[in-house]
Amino acid sequence: MRVALEVWSARYDELRSTCLRAEALGFDAFYYGESPNDLNLDCWTTLGALAASTDRIRLGPVIANVLPTYRSTILLAKQAATVATVSGGRLDCRTGVGASVRFARPWWEPFGVHYPDYHQRLADLTDALDRLPSLWSGAPPIPLTLAARGRRAMELVARTADVWETSFCTPREFRDQRQVLEGLVQERELVCSLEIDGFVASTGPGVDRLVRRVQQDRANHEDLAPVFERGLIGTPEDAAGRLVELVEAGVDQVVVALHDPHDRDALEALAEATRVARQTLDDRSA
Q: Is 62 inside any structural domain?
A: yes
pLDDT of 12 > 90? The answer is yes
Q: Is 139 inside any structural domain?
A: yes
| pLDDT tens for each residue of 70-79 | 999 999 999 9
Output the domain CATH number for residue 117. Answer: 3.20.20.30
Please, are residues 256 and 4 in contact by the beta-carbon 8 Å criterion? yes
| pLDDT tens for each residue of 220-273 | 888 999 999 999 999 999 999 999 999 999 999 999 999 999 999 999 999 999
Q: Is 239 inside any structural domain?
A: no
Q: Is 241 inside any structural domain?
A: no
Q: Is 225 inside any structural domain?
A: no
pTM: 0.97
Q: What is the mean pLDDT of the chain?
A: 96
Q: Is 127 inside any structural domain?
A: yes
| pLDDT tens for each residue of 17-37 | 999 999 999 999 999 999 998
Domain that holds residue 7: 2-195+251-260
Q: Is 234 helix (H, G, I), strand (E, B) or coil?
A: strand
Beta bridge partners of 19: none
Q: Is 132 inside any structural domain?
A: yes
What is the identity of the amino acid at 66?
Answer: V
Average pLDDT of the segment spanning 110-130: 96
Label residue 252 exposed, middle or buried (CB < 10 Å: 0-12, 13-18, 19+). Answer: middle
Of 90, 83, 6, whose CA–CA distance to 46 is shortest?
83
Considering its fold, how many domains does the chain have in total? Answer: 1
Q: Is 219 inside any structural domain?
A: no
Of 195, 131, 194, 140, whose CA–CA distance to 160 is shortest?
131
